Amino acid sequence: MPVSMESLAADLADESAELRGLLAPLSESDWKRSTPAPGWTIADQVSHLAHFDDVAVRSGTDPEGFAAELERIDAAGGIDPDAVAASYRHLSGADLLRWYDDARARLVEVFARLDPSLRVPWFGPSMSAASSLTARIMETWAHGQDVADTLGVARVPTARLRHVAHIGVGARPFSFTAHGRDLPDAPIRVELAAPDGGTWTWGPADAADRVTGPAPDFCLAVTQRRHRDDVDLTVTGAAATAWMEIAQAFAGEPGAGRRPGEFA
């Protein structure tokens, strides 16, 4: 079945609205609250999303220009998310919310019209426009988790988690590359219990190496929002174990993740 960019854009809009619902009531002091990401406040989480929404629009509308810019960034030592966050700390919460709204609206508008197979450059491997939009859903959910954890809010899992899980499975080779390790040859079966009671699967059904469990737990693990010890996943086989120890659904340098027991 062909990928529908309109459907992906609608899911991104819905995920965005859920996060916005957490942000809209915040006081200025709330925006400065520290999140589980070391050194990052709620404001930093939102500026990160808005900044890379703008970057994603450039990659989708001017791939050649963005690729040239990426070469300059790489030559200067690569992207530094902490430096990006620090550059926006002069903005108020109201300013950040307006920027987030505007950047996200532009992203949804632009990508909904793109050919899903269009290759767009990014930090790490290039990807299709469909994968790029899926990655924005994943990023929104992951950074939204940091905001929710800071505010003590338990979010209700939705079918949009399938996008997060899909990116997590697809990023397995990159997880090993990011750590300077060879990708094991063994295939891996992933079976996740979906929020609606169904099952989401990836990989050959007869694979000996397997990862099974609730979809939210898998998504928390591959976005490094929970330590592997603190999620309800059954991991079988050496290749699957090696993957889950370093899994990351996002581009860039390996993340520090969360400490064991931090959310026990």
- Which comes out higher in pLDDT, residue 15 or 256? 15
pLDDT of residue 254: 84
**What global pTM score does this model have?**
0.94
Phi, psi dihedrals of residue 180, rounded to the nearest 5°: 70, 30
- In the predicted structure, residue 123 carries a pLDDT above the cut 90: no
Instruction: Tokens 């699967």: give the residue.
Output: 201
What band does 218 get if pLDDT is binned at 50, 70 and 90?
very high
Q: What interhelical angle do 129-151 and 42-61 show, nearest 10?
A: 170
- In the predicted structure, residue 71 carries a pLDDT above the cut 90: no
Structure tokens at 29: 């002091």
Q: How many CB atoms lie within 10 A of CB 204?
A: 11
What band does 1 get if pLDDT is binned at 50, 70 and 90?
low
Going by the DSSP 8-state scheme, the letter that residue 121 receives in this structure is E
Structure tokens at 213: 């469990």
What are the C-alpha distances in Å from 33 to residues 30, 72, 134, 148?
A: 5, 34, 28, 12
Give the tens place of pLDDT for each residue, 148-205.
999 999 999 999 999 999 999 999 999 999 999 999 999 999 999 999 999 999 999 9
Domains of the chain: 5-155 (1.20.120.450), 162-246 (3.30.1050)
What are the C-alpha distances in Å from 44 to residues 22, 65, 134, 138?
A: 15, 27, 22, 17
CA atoms within 13 A on the CB side of 56: 30
With residue 202 as reference, give the H or E element that holds it.
strand 199-202
The amino acid present at 18, given as its one-letter code, is E
Phi, psi dihedrals of residue 229, rounded to the nearest 5°: -70, -15
pLDDT of residue 203: 98
Going by the DSSP 8-state scheme, the letter that residue 41 receives in this structure is B
| Average confidence score pLDDT of the chain | 94
Among candidate residues 259, 14, 45, the one with its CA nearest the CA of residue 146: 45
Going by the DSSP 8-state scheme, the letter that residue 201 receives in this structure is E
Task: Categorise residue 203: left if φ over 0, alpha if ψ from -120 to 50, beta otherwise.
Answer: left
